[in-house]
Amino acid sequence: MTKIELNRFRHSLKKKMTELESGSRNRRAIAIETSPDELDRIQHSQERDLAMGTLDRDSKLLREVRSALSRMDSGTYGICSDCEEDISARRLSAVPWTASCIVCLQVTDSMSEQHYRNASEELLVGAS
């Protein structure tokens, strides 16, 4: 990877980090609001759940972005953490904070899916 490409990815990651850090400071949406109206309480609860999910997802993404910047500093950015092969520039352009190549990601996803199926089948057998 050239220095120009690396600097472009670093700029992109820093921009994303700034965006995520400023978004995580807005926690007003998770404040508990009380209302005498049952429908309002339900709506506030759903909005709070949605905001908490978004905050959780953004927090995870922020950790991944910081980790990618750390890998840049250590010289391991763009190398798959699983197979240690180069991650394609196309994948890094799409997801600059990724730590895995597309092949390893697909293997992980397929293993997770199989684990989920097995657990679901065990629950169904146990319920019978």
CATH number at residue 113: 1.20.120.910
User: Any idea which of 15-29, 60-74, 101-115 has the lowest mean pLDDT?
Assistant: 15-29
Residue 62 three-state SS: helix
> Which residues neighbour 4 within 8 Å (Cβ) at sequence distance 6 or greater?
none
Residue 106's domain spans which residues?
A: 3-127
Domain tally, the chain: 1
How does DSSP assign 33-94, residue by residue?
---SSHHHHHHHHHHHHHHHHHHHHHHHHHHHHHHHHHHHHHT-TTB-TTT-PBPPHHHHHH
Higher pLDDT, 115 or 30: 115
Per-residue model confidence as pLDDT tens digits over 43-95: 888 888 898 898 999 999 999 999 999 999 999 999 999 999 999 999 999 99
